[in-house]
Structures are given as structure tokens and as C-alpha cells.
Chains A and B, each alone.
Chain A
Amino acid sequence: MKRYLPPYLLSGPAVIIFVIMLAVPMIMTFMLSFKSFSFYTGITPDYGWHNYLEVVTDSYFHEIFFRTYAISIGVTLLCALIGAPEAYILNRMTKAWRSMCLLAILGPLLISVIVRTLGWALLIGNNGVINDALLLLGVIDEPLRMMYTTQAIVVALVHVLVPFMVLSVWTTLQKLDPQVENASMSLGASHFTTMYRVVLPQIMPGILAGSLIVFALTASAFATPSILGGRALKVVATTAYDEYLNTLNWPLGAAIATILLIANIVVVMSYNKYVEHKYAAVFD
């Protein structure tokens, strides 16, 4: 029996931290989501499905969930469209240029989310740099409304999440035999056909893996939608926050958080399964 002990001892600290920091709060949140709340009595332990029923039946929440996933899909698609070519170009650069460009790409991740998002606000606000410049140049007569729009949220999220796509695609590109493009060309394929028929299918696993990360991070994003979307454009994460801290309806907030988590897990797992199934026969 003794030789089975070391692995458990070694992984022990991590397991304890995991249990205390993740499992316990999750279970408590889950339990909380079944409790009741009223303004006069506060949270009461009347367990039931009513919080979930409220979220599932109220069109107010439908809209929020719909918006969240629409933004997630949009951000994911944009990240793939921007990130994959970026990774391809990055892969072809000389070492010096590549390090410089990599730093620029990873830049957003090095800046605090609040600072970065407020930076966007400075840029796109009604008295922001862009509006001031356009007004000064006489292109527009009154400020464009860019703050508190879905587009603003999407652009800001793409900005910070595109590095994940670039890194993910870049990893698969490094496994790509540099000669396959030459092989394709020698067989008579044009540059475009080579890209579309030979390179793209081979980096698809990287794009799909990157999509997964971007999608999951967007669906649970909080700070960016909160600052750039404001109170009017709520997403699921900001709604849960408001339920907790503004309405003080913790059980409802917990129910929303639980639904978001389960929905994300379902999407991620089925997507992963699809990708694995699709590429199992082709790649190692």
C-alpha cells in the first residue's frame, strides 16, 4: 500500500486548495440558488425551483441570455477571422519581428481589465478621442454614440481575447510541415486554393480550440460588458452581479450563475466532443 501514498501526498495541497477555493463556494452557491428571498424577510431556507422557474419563464432573462450568447458567438467568429491570419503571418516572420509582434498581440493581456476597458471608454465616449477628432474635422455634427452599445462590448472583448486565438492557432501552425504549401503549389494549386484546401483544414483544430477558450471567456466576461455596456445592456454575468449587490436577491443571482455555468459546460463539452470526433482519424 505504501507506494500508492506519495502521489496522494504530492497532489494533496492542490486538492485542498481546490476544495476550499472552488468546490465549497460552488456547492454553497448551488444550495443558495434553491433558497427564497423577499424584501422584508431576507433570505429564507424555503428550498424550491422557483428561482430557476423565474429565469426560464421571464422574457427579461431570455433577452439577457440571448444577448450574452450572441455576443459570445460574434466575438468568437471575429477572433477566428482576425486571429488565424494573424497567427499565419506571425509564423512566417523572422524571429526579431515575431517577438515584437507577439508582444503587441499579448499586450492587452498585460493590462488590468479595468484600466484597459476605461481606456476604451476614453476612446469611444461621447467626449472621447474619436468623437472629438471627427467633430473637429467636421465629419460629423454631433457625437456618435459608441459607448453603451453591443458593438463596443464586442470590439473590446475581441481586442483582449484575440491573443488566445493567435496562440492556439500558432501552436498548430508550428506542427505544419512547411513543405505542404510547396507541395500544393507544385501540384498546380493557386495561393488561395492552397490556403483554403491545405493550410486551413490543418490549422482547424487550433482555430476550434481557440474558439472554445474565446467563447467560454466571453460568455462569462464581466468587467468589459459592465463598463462598456452599462446598466442598459446587461449580460448574464452583470445580471448575476446586480441581483447580488443591487437587489440583494442572492438566491436569484446564484440561480443565474448556476445556469450560466451549466450552459457553458454543455456548450464546451459537446463542442469538444465534436472536434475530437472529427479529427481523431486525421491528426495525432
Chain B
Amino acid sequence: MSFLSLKNVSKQYGDSLAVQDFNLNVEKGEFISLLGPSGCGKTTTLNMIAGFEEPTTGTIEISGKDMTYAAPNTRDIGIVFQSYALFPHMTVAENVGFGLEMRRVGKEERRQRVLETLELVRLTQFADRFPKALSGGQRQRVALARAIVIKPQLLLLDEPLSALDAKIRERMQIELRNIQHEVGVTTILVTHDQAEAMAMSDRIAVMNFGRMARLGAPFEIYEQPGDLFTSNFLGSTNMFDGEVSEQAGDVVMVNCSGVELSVQGNAAKGSKITVGVRPEKIALVEAGLGLIDAKIKTRIFMGTRWAYQLESSLGTLDVTLQNAGHEVAGEGVIVGVTWPRHAIRIFAEG
């Protein structure tokens, strides 16, 4: 019995289906991300869980109770909004205490719990400030404190970090994850940022056109994305279209623009397929020693890694190399390109 389950949930606006036949089971204490491009239905899904919108069909159960049509103020859900939606006319402490006040928690206990939560998000000294006087990161933490102080059974995060700049965002990811662990609340994060989803979640539900494209642990779905969309959305992929020329056991030979590639997997001989390999799985070797030769078109140094673009008979190849501390081949050089056979994956015809 899952803690939260969405069963065959669909949402229709006029003629367009925002969410189609969506199924998701979330266990207690789990951190799940709904990941997808804008317009994929992830926010609509979140709004239906929160009760701001009603599904056209399907049911939503929380702790075994049917909550599909329950009013938002009866669901006991903490939400951090993309805009934070703080109450500008209340101080930080009043903002955080609002949910407790609505639950008729006594004044003394309320003060105590507000203080504890502000401590958790390290904002104790800002208790009497108005939101206007806080930075983006601080507002974000007030929003989080306000959502968790009520000890909700479910925490929803709607693109909570998208308004922060990159450095603060990375720090907040870790902080948010730690706080979620500490509080132990079941959490659903909506985001379009795959790095954020992978950094924070136990499992990721990748969404596309209102449907669930892939569900699984971050490492699992990154390595076995299943379809082209998921593969491309989670990270860049070098893709080659080709035709299966031979099949032996669980290895097939694929002819891509005249190059024979050996790929693990099953596909009927003669069928047209797409294969893909991630940039970081590719190794550069001396010319002639790799699977094919390629010419280095551009080389960009990014601190932790090198980003290459190569010209080869397979087309343009993106390659990233870890910066190991020594110089690497530069632009114009011909190099060999290779990858382990298990690193290249078959996708249905793209």
C-alpha cells in the first residue's frame, strides 16, 4: 500500500490533454521528482495532488484515503511555490506561524515550533523581518520553513530553486535534501532541471506530453533511459541512425553511415534503429587505434572537464573528458574514438 498513489489520472483543458493516464505510487518518506520540459503536465499533476485542480478522470489517494476531490485546506500538504508566495504583509515568523495558527496551535507552542523551524533553515535572526527585506535564497528558506512547520504528511516543491542563481541553487539542493532527510517527509519535486532532479531524488518520473516517459532511480534511468526523449532530457546523447546488418545472441551489428558498430541488445536484422552513446562514455585514443578516426573541431576547457566536438564519418560527436591535470589533444588533431560496447544503447527508430 503506497503512501500516495495516482491512478489513471488525466486532466483535460478544452480539447487538449494536459495529463494523460498518469500512474504513480510514492512510498512514505520518499523523495520523488516530476521532471520534464515546460508544458509536459508536471505542474498540472502537482496542482491536482495539492487540490488546486481536479482531475478529469482517475483518483488520487493519500494514506489510503481517496482525496481526489478534497479541498486543498483539508489535505495537510506543505507546498513551496515557484514564486514562494510569501505573505508580504507578515513578518518571517508570522509567515511561518500562519499554518500553525490555522491549526489552532497554542501561542506558546506556536512560538516554539516557529523558532525550531527557523533554526532548521538558519533564519533565526530574521524572524522579525518582512519578506521584502530578504534575499532570494532567504525567501526560499522562509517558504520551506512555512511548508514544513505544520509537519505535513506530504511536501510539494514547485520549481523551488528556479529563481536562484546557480551557486546558491547548488547549495540549496544539498540543504533541501538534508532537511528533507531530517524531517523525513514524503516529498514531490517538480522541476525542468535534470541535474536538480538527479541530485535530490530517490526516484525520478520523467514526463513528456502529459505522459510518464520513464520512472526510476536517477542512476538507473540515466544509464538505461529506455527512450530517446528520456535519454536526451537527462543528458546529451550522440545519436546515430542505422540499419541492423547482423544479429548474434544479444549483440547486433548496426551499419551507421557505412560504419559497422557492435551494440548490445536485440533488434531484427534489416530493421532501422537509432543507437546512442553519452559524451562522457567516449574515450579518445591514438589515431587508428579506435573504432573510427575523427578530427577535433573545437575543444573547450570547463574547469572540471574538457568539452570536445569532433568531426567523423558518423557525423558530429560530442565528447567530454575529465580534467586529469595534464594537457590533452587540441583542435585540428586527428584522434581515434572508442567506447565500451555496453555504453552504446539501442533506441526504437527515432
Q: Assess whether B56 is interfacial by the CB under 8 Å rule.
A: no
In the bound complex, how far is the Cα of B87 from the Cα of A182, in angstroms?
11
- In the bound complex, residues from chain B placing their C-beta under 8 Å from that of A183 are 79, 81, 85-87, 146
When the two chains form their complex, are residues A180 and B85 in contact, meaning their CB atoms are under 8 A apart? yes
| A185 and B71 alpha carbons, distance in the complex (Å) | 9
- What 0/1 readout, one digit per residue, does chain A (259-284) give for beta carbons within 8 Å of chain B? 00000000000000000000001111
State whether the Cβ of A186 lies closer than 8 Å to any Cβ in chain B.
yes
Contact A186 B77 (CB under 8 A): yes
Contact A202 B88 (CB under 8 A): yes
Number of interface residues of B (CB under 8 A): 28
Which residues of chain A have C-beta atoms less than 8 A from B99's C-beta? Answer: 187-188
A212 to B326, CA, bound (A): 72
Query: At the interface, yes or no: B308 with Cβ under 8 Å from chain A?
Result: no
Assess whether B125 is interfacial by the CB under 8 Å rule: no
Chain A residues contacting B103 (CB-CB under 8 Å) are 188
Q: Is the CB of B89 within 8 A of A182?
A: no
Q: Does A141 touch B at the CB level, under 8 Å?
A: no
A108 → B minimal CB distance (Å): 32
- A220 CB, nearest partner CB in chain B, Å: 32
B222 at the interface (CB under 8 A from A): no
> Are B87 and A180 in touch, CB under 8 angstroms?
yes
Shortest C-beta distance, A102 to chain B (Å), equals 25
Does B132 lie within 8 Å of A284, measured CB to CB? Answer: yes
Q: Is B135's CB within 8 Å of the partner chain A?
A: no
Q: Which residue of A lies closest to B143 (CB)?
A: A183
Contacting residue for B50 out of A186, A190, A202, A283, CB 8 A: A186
A180 to B103, CA, bound (A): 18
Task: Flag whether B73 is at the interface (Cβ < 8 A).
Answer: yes
Interface residue B72 (Cβ < 8 Å from any Cβ of A)? yes
State whether the Cβ of B102 lies closer than 8 Å to any Cβ in chain A: yes
With A and B bound together, what is the CA distance between A179 and B86 in angstroms?
A: 9
Give the docked Cα–Cα distance between A201 and B86 (Å).
13
Task: Indicate if the CB atoms of A281 and B130 lie closer than 8 Å.
Answer: yes
Contact between A187 and B50, CB atoms less than 8 A apart:
no
Q: Which residues of A contact B79 (CB under 8 A)?
A: 182-183, 186
Which chain A positions have C-beta within 8 A of B85? 177, 179-180, 182-183
Q: Is the CB of B81 within 8 A of A189?
A: no
Interface presence of B347 (CB below 8 A) = no
The answer to whether residues A182 and B98 also contact, given A190-B73, A282-B132, A283-B132 and a CB cut-off of 8 A, is no
Task: Report A58-76 CB contacts with B as 1/0, cut-off 8 Å.
Answer: 0000000000000000000
One digit per residue, 1 when the CB lies within 8 angstroms of any chain A CB and 0 when it does not, for chain B 167-190 equals: 000000000000000000000000
Q: Quick check: is A217 within 8 A (CB to CB) of the other chain?
A: no
User: B182 → chain A, closest Cβ, in Å?
Assistant: 21
Provide the residues of chain A in CB contact with B132, threshold 8 Å: 281-284
- Chain A residues closer than 8 Å to B130, beta-carbon distance: 281-282
Among residues of B, the one whose C-beta sits closest to the C-beta of A204 is B89
Bound state CA distance, A198 and B150, in angstroms? Answer: 18
Are B102's CB and A182's CB within 8 A?
A: no
Could you tell me if B98 and A187 are in contact, using CB atoms closer than 8 angstroms? Answer: yes
Instruction: Report chain A residues within 8 Å CB of B51.
Output: 185-186
**Any chain A CB within 8 A of the CB of B69?**
no
Instruction: List B contacts of A190 (CB < 8 A).
Output: 73
Q: List 13 A-B contacts (CB under 8 A).
A: A179-B85, A180-B87, A182-B79, A183-B79, A183-B146, A184-B87, A186-B73, A186-B77, A188-B150, A189-B73, A189-B102, A281-B130, A284-B132
Q: Which residues of chain B have a CB within 8 Å of any CB of chain A? A: 50-52, 71-73, 75-79, 81-83, 85-89, 98-99, 102-103, 130, 132, 146-147, 150
Q: What 4 additional pairs, Cβ within 8 angstroms, besides A186-B75, A202-B89?
A: A177-B85, A188-B99, A193-B102, A281-B132
